[in-house]
Amino acid sequence: MEIRTPSELAMETVLSVQEYTILSWEAVLNIFRKPRYLADTLLQADSIGVGSLPVVVLAGLSIGAVLALQSSNTLQRFGSLSLTGQLVSLSMVRELGAVISGLMVAGRNASGIASELGTMKVTEQIDAMRALGTDPLKKLVTPRVLAATIMLFFLTIIADLVGLAGGWLVSRFALGLDSNQYWTTAWQSLEFPDVFMGLTKPLLFGFIIATVGCYYGVTAKGGTQGVGRATTQAMVSSSVMILMVDFFYTKLLMTLMHVH
Amino acid sequence: MGTVLATPETAPNTPPSDEKTIVFDRVSIAFEERAVLDSISFELRRGETKMLLGILGSGKTTILKLALGLIKPDSGDIYVLGEHVNEMSEDQLFELRRKMGMVFQESALFDSLTVRENVAFRLIEEGRPAEEIERRVREALQFVELENTIDQFPGELSGGMKRRVGIARAIIDRPEVLLYDSPTAGLDPVTSTTIIELLVKQRDVYHTSALMTTHRLPDTLMMATHYFNEKENKMLQLPKNNSVDARTTFLLLKDAKVIFDGTVEELAASRDEYIREYFA
């Protein structure tokens, strides 16, 4: 491996951020430009949305169940076991539904997108597409960004629901709580800012997953090894970005909407 | 066979017209501070087929990518079909590229699409009617004699067949300029003769201007000394009294410079040591 000086490294980083920003910006602008690739978008929506459904359902269910199980211990100490529903619902809807779905889809699709586009890049298929007069940003990137953003929104709703169901299963059968009480506290504790926060996050996360996956894909170089590297980097970077953006976005919304 | 894209307008072996399709004017480009092309200039006239020769890494493929606007030069001007390529935006370039065809060295076929979808890609993108697409795809595949592979995927084809599908994809919309990137590299002699025959056919029947990179000298000589006989539907050697094709020219690159640009006769007459050694 060649050794690079700190200034070269810094320059490369700045250049990468610039390229990523341009790619993301173009991807958004292309939504409003012709030609639009509806069939490609639907195909991606199927692959990202329907394809990720089983893993998101399973992850949501276990997180909801574990949340109820772990919190019951603490709540019991304060004699507030009846608040389990509220705790599960607030945690799932505000935070975990979106983050868990985001991380699952990042693991599955950011890497998938990077390896698909990366292979196309190193085998000159992307150059061939440009040579044939088709814009790869419009044909490959924008459909993936649209599909990931929209589908992660719906996946998060599903994750929230099955998470609540997981919590209910534990509350009802392991903790012996009343079902009616669980669902009532779960439902009543939710307010507009909670739902708003929980449902705007997946839009950001979906956008991050697709743009990071596409960026590492279209900049891949160095044969199969390069594609492998792009795949791993796409997954790691998108996961880290999701967690970072989650923190700052949560803080921002809490300040703006006076949530406590 | 042979009735594919257009009817011949001129007899075989007539010199190219003076109209320029590609002009490189003092073009330079460097990758990671290594000069790949250093102020090179040349012209490609309408109907001319120019062979770009040089050792590996001499910048032959770079010239094709520059002509397509896939990469931008550091300095100099490039004109293709009258358009100033290095001043154009990517959107404008997409329009220009629709009048050009490129055959990539490793074919660069879309591996998740069938041969039909690969060849039809450009027409599907332009939203042409389905019947027209089907007819044109079959014509283009007939031209490269691969109609039977229409429903197969690129992964199921041999290297030579992929190359031929790549040619069909490049010629389907009757481009004015064709760019071939080492179309015979890595192929056995028999298969590469098949490919050369297709290029000669494209040159002599449709008079498309072309740039072709290669480092296989026998192929270039075959291009220069053969013509396509439409009646017999095969490539034949030019007669003794007229043994060299006037539309086939050569350009030799060395150390990022053009050291030769001319016809076969001029090449044979050259006294340059490197050229003599290269062709020895």
- In the stretch 97-116 of chain B, residues with CB closer than 8 A to chain A read 97-98, 100-102, 104-106, 108-111
Q: How does residue A1 score in pLDDT terms, banded at 50, 70 and 90?
A: low
Q: Which residues of A touch B103 (CB under 8 A)?
A: none
Contact (Cβ atoms closer than 8 angstroms) between residue A96 and residue A203: no
- Residue in chain A nearest B121 by alpha carbon: A132
Please give the C-alpha separations between residue B129 and each of B123, B125, B184, in angstroms, as whole numbers.
9, 11, 34
Q: Specify if A218 maps to a domain.
A: yes
pLDDT at B6: 41
Q: Specify if A144 maps to a domain.
A: yes
pLDDT at A103: 96
Q: Specify if A2 maps to a domain.
A: no
Number of domains in chain A: 1
pLDDT at A260: 63
pLDDT at B186: 83
What's the rounded mean pLDDT across residues A20-25?
95
In whole angstroms, give the CA distance from residue A204 to residue B156.
41
Q: Specify if A166 maps to a domain.
A: yes
Q: How does residue B3 score in pLDDT terms, banded at 50, 70 and 90?
A: very low
pLDDT at A230: 95
What's the rounded mean pLDDT across residues B27-43?
91
Contact status of A125 with chain B (Cβ, < 8 Å): yes
Cis check: omega of the bond before A35, within 30 degrees of 0: yes
Question: What value does the mean pLDDT of chain A take?
Answer: 93
pLDDT at A242: 97
Question: What value does the mean pLDDT of chain B take?
Answer: 87
- Residue in chain B nearest A133 by alpha carbon: B94
Q: Do A125 and B97 touch (CB under 8 A)?
A: no
In whole angstroms, give the CA distance from residue A49 to residue A108.
11
pLDDT at B264: 83
What's the rounded mean pLDDT across residues A23-42?
92
The tens digit of pLDDT for each residue in B124-177 reads 999 999 999 999 999 999 988 899 999 999 999 998 899 999 999 999 988 999
pLDDT at A203: 97
A40, A116, A132, A137, best to mutate vs chain B, most B CBs in 10 Å = A132
| Nearest CB neighbour to A133, from listed B106, B111, B125 | B125
- Residue in chain A nearest B92 by alpha carbon: A133
Q: How does residue B239 score in pLDDT terms, banded at 50, 70 and 90?
A: confident
Q: How does residue B15 score in pLDDT terms, banded at 50, 70 and 90?
A: low
In whole angstroms, give the CA distance from residue A19 to residue A47.
26
Note every long-range contact of A23-26, with CB atoms under 8 Å and residues 24 or more positions apart, other chains counting: A23/A137, A23/A141, A23/A211, A23/A214, A23/A215, A23/A218, A24/A145, A24/A207, A24/A211, A24/A215, A26/A137, A26/A141
pLDDT at B11: 52
Closest CA to A117 of B111, B150, B177, B7: B111
In whole angstroms, give the CA distance from residue A156 to residue A101.
6
In whole angstroms, give the CA distance from residue B8 to residue B11.
7
Q: Do A134 and B90 touch (CB under 8 A)?
A: no
Phi, psi at residue B247, to the nearest 5°? Answer: -90, -5
Residue A6 structure tokens: 């700190």
Range of the structural domain that residue A178 is part of: 37-257
Q: How does residue B14 score in pLDDT terms, banded at 50, 70 and 90?
A: low
pLDDT at B10 over 70: no
Q: Specify if A197 maps to a domain.
A: yes
The pLDDT > 70 percentage for chain A reads 99
Q: Specify if A173 maps to a domain.
A: yes
Range of lowest pLDDT (A150-164, A218-232, B47-61): B47-61
Q: Specify if A80 maps to a domain.
A: yes
Contact (Cβ atoms closer than 8 angstroms) between residue A214 and residue A117: yes
Size of interface A-B (CB pairs under 8 A): 55
Contact status of B31 with chain A (Cβ, < 8 Å): no
Q: Which residues of A touch B108 (CB under 8 A)?
A: 123-125, 127-128
The residue type found at A258 is: H
Q: Specify if A210 maps to a domain.
A: yes
What residues contact residue A254 under an 8 Å CB cut-off, 6+ apart? A260
The tens digit of pLDDT for each residue in A179-191 reads 999 999 999 999 9
The tens digit of pLDDT for each residue in A209-251 reads 999 999 999 999 988 999 999 999 999 999 999 999 999 999 9
Q: How does residue A80 score in pLDDT terms, banded at 50, 70 and 90?
A: confident
pLDDT at B13: 62
In whole angstroms, give the CA distance from residue B101 to residue B93.
13
In whole angstroms, give the CA distance from residue B200 to residue B202.
5
Check residues B277 and A46 and name the one with the higher pLDDT.
A46
Q: Do A35 and B125 touch (CB under 8 A)?
A: yes
Q: How does residue A48 score in pLDDT terms, banded at 50, 70 and 90?
A: very high
Strands of the sheet with B34-45, listed across from one edge: B34-45, B20-31, B75-80, B83-84
pLDDT at B2 over 60: no
CA of B96 to nearest chain A CA: how many angstroms apart? 8
pLDDT at B7 over 60: no
The residue type found at A172 is: R
What's the rounded mean pLDDT across residues B75-99?
92
Contact status of B199 with chain A (Cβ, < 8 Å): no
Check residues A14 and B233 and name the one with the higher pLDDT.
A14
Q: Which residues of A touch B105 (CB under 8 A)?
A: 124
The tens digit of pLDDT for each residue in A100-136 reads 999 999 999 999 999 999 999 999 999 999 999 999 9
What's the rounded mean pLDDT across residues A57-76?
92
| Nearest CB neighbour to A132, from listed B105, B111, B121 | B121
B125, B126, B165, B169, best to mutate vs chain A, most A CBs in 10 Å = B125
Q: How many residues does chain A have?
A: 260
Check residues A14 and B11 and name the one with the higher pLDDT.
A14
| Nearest CB neighbour to B108, from listed A124, A133, A135 | A124
